[in-house]
C-alpha cells in the first residue's frame, strides 16, 4: 500500500471510529477498572506501528485453551505481568486506536467474554517485548478462550 492509499485508509478508519467510540468505551469499562474519561487513545498511525513491530518481532512462546467460563482464572494469571500494556479490544482498536494502561492489575477480574467484548483482547507491553493474546471463539457449540504468549 502506498502512502496516499494509507492516508485515505486512515481517514476512513477515523470516520468509522467516531461512530463506534461510545461502544468501545463500554467495552473498555467492562474490561478495565479505569476512569474512561482519562483514557488517551494512541493515534491510528501509532497503533499501526505497534502492531507492525509486534508482528515482525514476536514468536509464539506458549498457547493454552480454556473454557470461556474460566475468564477470571485467565485474567488472574496475566495480572502478574509488570509494567504498562497497550490494550487492543476486538477490532475496535483499528478504528479508535489502542490505549495504554499502567498495569494489568487494573483488569476487572469479574469480566466475562461474550457480553461486550465478543472476539478477543490482546495486550502488548509498553516496551514492546511481550504480547498476551486472548482469543474468544466458538467451536462445536462450545465457547473457548485461547491464551497465547508471544515474546
pLDDT digit string, tens, across residues 71-126: 999 999 999 999 999 999 999 999 999 999 999 999 998 899 999 999 999 999 99
- Residues 98, 125: contact at Cβ < 8 Å? no
Distance between CA 68 and CA 38 in Å, rounded? 30
pTM, whole model, 2 decimals?
Answer: 0.94
- The HSE-up count of residue 50 (CA atoms within 13 Å, CB side) is 26
Distance from C-alpha of 151 to C-alpha of 140, rounded to nearest angstrom? 31
Nearest in space to 87 (alpha carbons), one of 45, 53, 136, 120: 120
For 108, the grid coordinates are: 476487572
pLDDT tens-digit series, residues 36-82: 888 999 999 999 999 999 989 888 889 999 999 999 999 999 999 99
Number of domains the chain contains: 1
Give the C-alpha separation, 31 to 25, whole Å: 10
Residue range of the domain that includes 111: 3-150
Amino acid at each position: 500500500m502506498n502512502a496516499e492509499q494509507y492516508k485515505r485508509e486512515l481517514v476512513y478508519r477515523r470516520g468509522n471510529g467516531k461512530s463506534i467510540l461510545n461502544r468501545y468505551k463500554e467495552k473498555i469499562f467492562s474490561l478495565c477498572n479505569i476512569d474512561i474519561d482519562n483514557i488517551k487513545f494512541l493515534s491510528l498511525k501509532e497503533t499501526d506501528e505497534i502492531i507492525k513491530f509486534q508482528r515482525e518481532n514476536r514468536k509464539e512462546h506458549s498457547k493454552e485453551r480454556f473454557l470461556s467460563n474460566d475468564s477470571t482464572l485467565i485474567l488472574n494469571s496475566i495480572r502478574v505481568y509488570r509494567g504498562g500494556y497497550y490494550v487492543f479490544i476486538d477490532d475496535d482498536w483499528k478504528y479508535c486506536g489502542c490505549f495504554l494502561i499502567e498495569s494489568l492489575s487494573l483488569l476487572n477480574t469479574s469480566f466475562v467474554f461474550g457480553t461486550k467484548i465478543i472476539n478477543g483482547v490482546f495486550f502488548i507491553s509498553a516496551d514492546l517485548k511481550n504480547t498476551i493474546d486472548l482469543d474468544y471463539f466458538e467451536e462445536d457449540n462450545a465457547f473457548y478462550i485461547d491464551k497465547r504468549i508471544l515474546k
